[in-house]
Structure 1
Amino acid sequence: MPGTVGGVSWNLRALDVLAAGEPTPLIDLPVRMPGIRLLLKDESAQPTGSLRHRHARALFRQGVLDGLIGEGTTVVEATGGNAAVAQAWHAQRLGLPYIVVMPGERGEQRARPVEALGGECRFVTPPLAIYDAAREIEGHFLDQFGRAAEHDLAEELFGQVRPDWVVTGAGTGATSATLGRWIRERGAGCRVAVADPENSAYFPGWTLDTPDYATGMPSRIEGIGRPRVEPGFRPDLVDRVVPVPDAASVAAARHLREVTGLVVGGSSGTALWAALELVERMRAKGETGTVVSLIGDAADRHLATYHDVGWAAERRLDPTPFTDRLRRVFSTVSG
């Protein structure tokens, strides 16, 4: 239960800590198509450098409001990468113990950022065993894949611009669901597109209207794509799911770096490629309007993966054909 210090309840102080920060910026990415505007919503400007920061804050906030997180509560999650870093950051600010169960063998690249924030990393094999392992730890299981938590992205975005399309990748499914619900409740007249990499279950699951669809194969694009359709994904709140080749994700990530200077990851490249598909369809139909694509993260560590020629060659990812198409559509000068 929440405690009190100096007459001020812990949960009230926690909610103050978990208040929304400054809005993340919009970047204009010029396209060679009159009447069509493409904007990038740069979530890498968050304190922990990714879109996961916003979702982590929402999960903690919901836990406090529901009375599941109080003073001294150990917070537990089963995940890896940016989500774990974002959650560890919020736990540190609240003074709470944080334990994350990650799949596979221990990797310093994954563990170090979490441990630097005071979190504890536990590694489990096989990978799908992380959920059961997390539930066995005494504390509050955040359960980012199974627990709904509305974050403030849509309200912030629509306070900045009135887009016709918003494009995001799908990991937990929470971002597309949050956007879709907000848009429909307010009649905003915008559509939501989900960019889905190879091996992921979201595109076939959405196309076949099969909510329990599974491919059983992991995504090669960090942060998005899942071997199964997660409970947080709401196909009824999504207007289009765009399948994206992994090599196209690599090409688009590199193009974004070339134009903006941001060393984005593959998930941002996936979302940009899906935006390209939408822009070209708009042009073919004679439509005009604004498309917003989310930049999920930008970090120098991506220089050793998506931006590295040898890394891509080892995985037989040839971005060349997709790079040519990107340069035909987008200007090489950022506005």
Structure 2
Amino acid sequence: MSDWVTKAIKTINADYQRSADTHLIKLEQLTLKGIDIYLKDESTHPTGSLKHRLARSLFLYALCNGKINQNTTVIEASSGSTAVSEAYFAKMIGVPFVAVMPRSTAQSKIALIEKYGGTCHFVECPTQMHCEAQRIAQQLNGYFMDQFLYAERATDWRGNNNIAESIFEQMKAEPHPIPHTVVMSAGTGGTSATIGRYIRYKGLPSKLMVVDPEHSVFFDSYRQRDSTLTASRGSRIEGIGRPKVEASFQHDVIDSMMRVPDAASIATMHWLNNTMGIKAGPSTGTNLWGALQVAASMIEKGESGSIVTLMCDSGERYSNTYYNADWVSSEIGPTEEYDEHLQKIKVA
């Protein structure tokens, strides 16, 4: 292993040592009898999202496998947050970075990628991203990071302060320390794979429910146990949902799945902001809608316990899109049905 690679690995590990763990927020305002809901706030990472963990793992995985040296251009197919985090680490170790993304990606994410020295290469449809990233990597003799392939294997799911271990450690002093259910959406499928494997490895009774937006094939793939399914368009909830079943999506570690209407995701995102002052991104809306449905089911069965889900990133990145009423009306449609449902939930 070259001196440069050794130094790059040390540099990334030093950044990890400087970063504190992310907060676990109890939604105290919710008055659900016998049930507590928690948000793991991943927006506090240096690059502002859950994907910071993934990008760090992917870079270390690639470096230790001899795929990146000081002359390597790194290419990724990403709708935004992964590309932001990978651009950060590429700049840290001094290699060029190209993000292949849909033209519709939020301008704030594009600006962050460019802030970290990355280059944005646009395609018209999310279904084109993977092939275009492969083409550019071949053209530049670079390395395609391929988060959708490597996400589930780049992270040590047994522990080492991964997100699953962090959640269960932080829950230890809570009234219901072992969550009844952990709710997670899937982009690559890597985080759900890590959580599901960790639950099994530790012999925990917690269940993993994965929520999926419209126009994503993960839900149907899980129900049909068919990994060949594809869709003709991409998800409207940025960062989650895929038009094909990615290699990192692991059916067998998931206990249940739920399809969440896109309008419900947006309504829940706004409800969280308006009732609790937590401004999160649209995938958090998907996650929290799922958590609220789990809570409703538990109440109906007379169960008590805790539910943990993730705040994947901050809503500040989506001021011109998901927090813009005209954009939501045009791109998502009416949310009133779900707004009314959420208003019935008791909030102190």
Secondary structure in 2 matching 1:329: coil
* Residues 1:130 and 1:219: Cα distance change in structure 2 (over 3 Å): closer
Q: Is 2:330 aligned against 1:314?
A: yes
Distance 1:168 1:297 in 2: 13
Distance 2:331 2:101 in 1: 23
1:101-180 aligned within 5 A: 101-104=100-103, 109-125=108-124, 127-135=126-134, 136=138, 137-147=140-150, 148-150=153-155, 152-161=162-171, 162-180=178-196
Match of 2:96 in 1: 97
Alpha carbons 1:153, 1:179 under 8 Å: kept: yes
CA displacement at 1:169 relative to structure 2: 1.0
Distance 2:300 2:107 in 1: 48
1:232-271 aligned within 5 A: 232-271=248-287
* Residue range with higher mean Cα deviation, 74-83 or 39-48: 74-83
* Residue range with higher mean Cα deviation, 196-205 or 314-323: 314-323
Match of 1:69 in 2: 68
Alpha carbons 1:72, 1:95 under 8 Å: kept: no
Aligned mate of 2:14, from 17, 21, 25: 17
Alpha carbons 1:99, 1:121 under 8 Å: kept: yes
* Residues 1:35 and 1:91: Cα distance change in structure 2 (over 3 Å): same
Alpha carbons 1:168, 1:294 under 8 Å: kept: yes
CA displacement at 1:70 relative to structure 2: 3.4
Match of 2:25 in 1: 27
Distance 1:49 1:259 in 2: 22
* Residue range with higher mean Cα deviation, 266-275 or 110-119: 110-119
* TM-score, length-scaled by structure 1: 0.91
Q: Is 2:60 aligned against 1:50?
A: no
Code of the residue aligned with 1:146 in structure 2: it is L
Match of 1:3 in 2: 3
Alpha carbons 1:18, 1:61 under 8 Å: kept: no
Aligned length: 329
Code of the residue aligned with 1:284 in structure 2: it is E
Distance 2:202 2:278 in 1: 33
Aligned mate of 2:307, from 291, 294, 301: 291
Q: What does the per-residue CA deviation read over 1:33-86, in whole Å, with 9 as the maximum and x for residues that have no partner?
A: 221110011111111111111111111111122222334432221223111111
Distance 2:246 2:26 in 1: 32
Alpha carbons 1:2, 1:71 under 8 Å: kept: no
Distance 1:106 1:329 in 2: 33
Q: What does the per-residue CA deviation read over 1:248-289, in whole Å, with 9 as the maximum and x for residues that have no partner?
A: 111100011113323212111011101111001111111111
Alpha carbons 1:17, 1:94 under 8 Å: kept: no
Distance 1:243 1:125 in 2: 26
Distance 2:234 2:126 in 1: 10
* Residues 1:51 and 1:330: Cα distance change in structure 2 (over 3 Å): farther
Alpha carbons 1:166, 1:191 under 8 Å: kept: yes
Distance 1:75 1:191 in 2: 36
CA displacement at 1:126 relative to structure 2: 5.7
> Taking every aligned residue pair, what percent have the same amino acid on both sides?
38
Alpha carbons 1:214, 1:228 under 8 Å: kept: yes
Alpha carbons 2:127, 2:243 under 8 Å: kept: no
CA displacement at 1:125 relative to structure 2: 4.9
* Residue range with higher mean Cα deviation, 106-115 or 207-216: 106-115
Match of 2:223 in 1: 207
Match of 2:159 in 1: none
Q: Is 2:202 aligned against 1:186?
A: yes
Distance 2:269 2:147 in 1: 26
Secondary structure in 2 matching 1:231: coil
Alpha carbons 1:134, 1:141 under 8 Å: kept: yes
Unmatched runs of 5 consecutive residues or more in structure 2: 157-161, 172-177
Distance 1:121 1:199 in 2: 24
* Residue range with higher mean Cα deviation, 91-100 or 119-128: 119-128
Code of the residue aligned with 2:91 in structure 1: it is Q
Alpha carbons 1:252, 1:272 under 8 Å: kept: yes
Q: What does the per-residue CA deviation read over 1:109-165, in whole Å, with 9 as the maximum and x for residues that have no partner?
A: 553221111112222456434323323232222110111321611111111013221
Distance 1:91 1:330 in 2: 45
* Residues 1:321 and 1:128: Cα distance change in structure 2 (over 3 Å): closer
Distance 2:25 2:42 in 1: 11
* TM-score, length-scaled by structure 2: 0.87
* Residue range with higher mean Cα deviation, 187-196 or 320-329: 320-329
Alpha carbons 2:295, 2:307 under 8 Å: kept: yes
